[in-house]
């Protein structure tokens, strides 16, 4: 319910992508928003107002002369009530009309009459690839951005005309994610956040290895929350089957040494490093060239282990971290005595914040409970969704950045 208490005007303009607007409306309502649909006459050629009314639970508007409004001014009333106006799909023609301030029908009139300082306008363009690439469209988009409009971007792929390229309207789930992110406070604007997530895999032979139960969900939630907060985010991910959060740069690795190399390379540009990954402490000294077979004797193979490099401690001791240019945050996944182990790790790693959790109770789950441990003491974050906890962690990081050094 990330959009609870948000009232959105969903505008539809002419285009085959109107079929996606039905699912978008459904998902917005599911996220807690109230949705008022406004359609152009061209949009009604592609999808009926009846469909949108059924999904939004509200009467659809399409005419500036709608007598249902007591003062006959829906272009004023509907815009004043909104937390945002979202045009999805937004055609090339409608973008041009917005640039010129043309307003001879309800939707463009409402966009023009909205209080710009408190009712943002967001556009999800949808058009043929040639129309999208045309200099006129690109000029119009640039002008709209200068005017304060948010362009949500386009997708790439097959188009209804049979061609393939940029210009598709983003998928409804992508748009909902972008809208949720839009309303999040931009606490980390201008920051570059580096996150490690998931387990590592240390090979024994070509088919076997040592790993752990980390799903990567907490780290991916942290990456998403940081991106929502306005940061540039790089995610170094171990072997997990999770989609990359929107707007996040992802680097896939497998072993602890690969994660070490990738993290150190990225840490030179980061301002915040959040080490959520469950990195293997040990690895086999050597990986067998072929699968180790049973020989019938019942004897187990003898494996020798060596310690993996300590990613968090290494980054925390780097010149940028020691000078305060890089804020380092570690995670401690324990099975008992969480506070004591987290405090010990805080001292051992030399970082300002350790985030502790009971690993067996969190691995693979969508929720968790965290313990934030710093030199100032310990603070519990009660069980909640991992995304909600990640947003609380982002807020804590933002507060730490604002403290005088």
Instruction: Return the structure tokens found at 354.
Output: 């350790």
User: How does pLDDT run across 327-349, given as a tens digit for each residue?
Assistant: 999 999 888 899 999 999 999 99
- To the question of domain 192-402 being in CATH 3.40.50.720, the answer is no
Check whether the bond before 89 is cis (ω within 30° of 0): yes
CATH 3.40.50.10300 domain extents, the chain: 192-402
The Cα–Cα gap between 150 and 142 comes to: 10
- DSSP code of residue 169: P
Banded model confidence at residue 1, pLDDT cuts 50, 70, 90: confident
111 catalytic residue (yes or no): no
The active-site residue out of 25, 111, 161, 397 is: 161
The Cα–Cα gap between 40 and 94 comes to: 10
User: How does pLDDT run across 96-137, given as a tens digit for each residue?
Assistant: 999 999 999 999 999 999 999 999 999 999 999 999 999 999
Sign, CA torsion 161/165/167/168? positive
Mean of pLDDT over the chain: 95
Its pTM stands at: 0.92
The whole-number pLDDT of residue 404 equals 65
Q: How far is CA 257 from the centre of its chain?
A: 27
Tokens 């971290």 correspond to what residue? Answer: 321
Instruction: Return the structure tokens found at 108.
Output: 């463009």
Q: Provide the percentage of residues in the chain whose pLDDT is more than 70.
A: 100
Banded model confidence at residue 308, pLDDT cuts 50, 70, 90: very high
User: How does pLDDT run across 145-190, given as a tens digit for each residue?
Assistant: 999 999 999 999 999 999 999 999 999 999 999 999 999 999 999 9
Residue 94 has pLDDT above 90, yes or no: yes
How buried is residue 31: exposed, middle or buried, by Cβ count under 10 Å (0-12/13-18/19+)? middle
Q: Buried (b) or exposed (e) across 184-201, using 16+ Cβ within 10 A?
A: beebbeebbbbbbbbbbb
Instruction: Return the structure tokens found at 323.
Output: 């000078």
User: How does pLDDT run across 180-207, given as a tens digit for each residue?
Assistant: 999 999 999 999 999 999 999 999 999 9
Instruction: Return the structure tokens found at 4.
Output: 């609870």
CATH 3.40.50.1950 domain extents, the chain: 7-183
- Give the count of beta carbons closer than 10 Å to the beta carbon of residue 210: 16
The CATH class, in words, for 7-183 is alpha beta
Closest CA to 393 of 221, 269, 164, 262: 221
User: Does residue 395 sit in helix, strand or coil?
Assistant: helix
Q: Where are the alpha helices (DSSP H) in 301-379?
A: 311-316, 319-322, 338-349, 359-362
């Amino acid at each position: 319910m990330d959009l609870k208490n948000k009232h959105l005007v969903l505008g539809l303009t002419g285009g085959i992508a109107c079929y996606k607007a039905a699912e978008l409306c459904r998902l917005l309502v599911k996220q807690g928003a109230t949705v008022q649909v406004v359609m152009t006459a061209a949009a009604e050629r592609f999808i009926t107002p009846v469909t949108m009314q059924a999904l939004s639970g509200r009467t659809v508007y399409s005419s500036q002369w709608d007598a249902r409004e007591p003062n006959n001014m829906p272009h004023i009333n509907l815009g004043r009530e909104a937390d945002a106006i979202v045009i999805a799909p937004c055609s090339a023609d409608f973008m041009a009309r917005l640039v010129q301030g043309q307003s001879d029908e309800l939707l463009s009139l409402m966009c023009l009459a909205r209080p710009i300082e408190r009712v943002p306008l967001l556009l999800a363009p949808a058009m043929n690839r040639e129309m999208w690439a045309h200099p006129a469209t690109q000029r119009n988009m640039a002008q709209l951005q200068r005017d304060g409009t948010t362009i949500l971007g386009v997708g790439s792929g097959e188009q209804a005309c049979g061609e393939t390229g940029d210009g598709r309207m983003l998928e409804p789930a992508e748009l909902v994610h972008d809208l949720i992110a839009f309303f999040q406070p931009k606490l980390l604007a201008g920051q570059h956040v580096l996150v490690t997530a998931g387990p590592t895999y240390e090979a024994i032979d070509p088919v076997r290895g040592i790993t752990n139960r980390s799903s990567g969900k907490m780290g991916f939630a942290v990456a998403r929350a940081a991106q929502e907060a306005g940061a540039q985010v790089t995610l170094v991910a171990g072997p997990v089957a999770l989609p990359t959060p929107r707007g996040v740069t992802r680097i896939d690795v497998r072993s602890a040494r690969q994660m070490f190399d990738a993290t150190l390379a990225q840490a030179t540009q980061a301002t915040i490093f959040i080490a959520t990954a469950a990195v293997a402490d040990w690895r086999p000294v050597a990986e067998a060239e072929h699968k180790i077979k049973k020989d019938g004797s019942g004897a187990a193979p003898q494996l020798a282990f060596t310690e993996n490099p300590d990613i968090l401690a290494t980054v925390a001791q780097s010149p940028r971290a020691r000078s305060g240019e890089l804020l380092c945050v570690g995670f401690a996944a324990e099975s008992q005595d969480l506070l004591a182990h987290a405090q010990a790790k805080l001292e051992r790693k030399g970082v300002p914040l350790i985030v502790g959790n009971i690993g067996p109770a969190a691995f693979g789950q969508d929720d968790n409970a965290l313990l934030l441990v710093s030199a100032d003491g310990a603070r519990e974050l009660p069980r909640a969704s991992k995304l909600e906890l990640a947003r609380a962690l982002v807020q804590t990081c933002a507060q730490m950045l604002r403290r005088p050094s």
